[in-house]
Amino acid sequence: MLQKLKFFLLLVFIVLAQAACIATQAPIIDHNSAIYKVAVAPGVSYEDVIDSLKINAQGMNFVNSASFAIGEQLKLRELAHEEPLEVHAFCNLALGADIMQDHPEFVVFAPCRIAIYQKKGQLYLALARPTFDLKSIKNPSARAVKAAQALENALIRLIQKSSKGDF
């Protein structure tokens, strides 16, 4: 009887551990979409997300060059929306330069953009994927492809950490 109880408890533990892993996995990248989005974790406030974005971005060699409070402009025009609705521009010249040195036209996609918005009561972080943007360049160099992937990976890490309020 004791062995059956141990086996049952082990089985419950395994199922709960797998469920926890599935629940904490990051969203899969949709390679047909320019957008990568992450839901903000329960209990993490908008202010926590902003603080986490700023601190983590700085530690990852990103500069927050501008912020656009689009929701405030909509509010001034009395257009309905959920708040917040904003875009933050981030730049990492170390990675971006490798793309723009070979393809200066890529500057149209700079700086990188991260959106913070709320939809149906859920707060989200989303980014415009540099690898998707690079599809607009005919015959991108290997260096540009590598840099765009590194840039996207870094931005995904940034919004994943910030969605949890981590520093």
Strands (E) located in 49-165: 63-68, 85-91, 112-119, 122-128
Dist. CA 24–CA 38, nearest whole Å: 11
Cis peptide upstream of residue 84 (ω within 30 degrees of 0): yes
Mean pLDDT rounded to a whole number for the chain: 88
Q: At what angle do helices 142-163 and 46-59 cross, to 10 degrees?
A: 140
Q: What is the pLDDT of residue 3?
A: 63
Match 């009561």 to its residue by tokens.
Answer: 121
Backbone angles phi, psi at 83, to 5 degrees: -105, 150
Taking the model in full, what pTM does it have?
0.82
Q: Is the pLDDT of residue 46 over 80?
A: yes
Name the CATH architecture for the domain at 33-163.
Answer: 2-Layer Sandwich (3.30)
Give the pLDDT confidence of 64-100 residue by residue, as tens digits. Answer: 999 999 999 999 999 988 999 999 999 999 899 999 9
Q: How many CB atoms lie within 10 A of CB 98?
A: 19
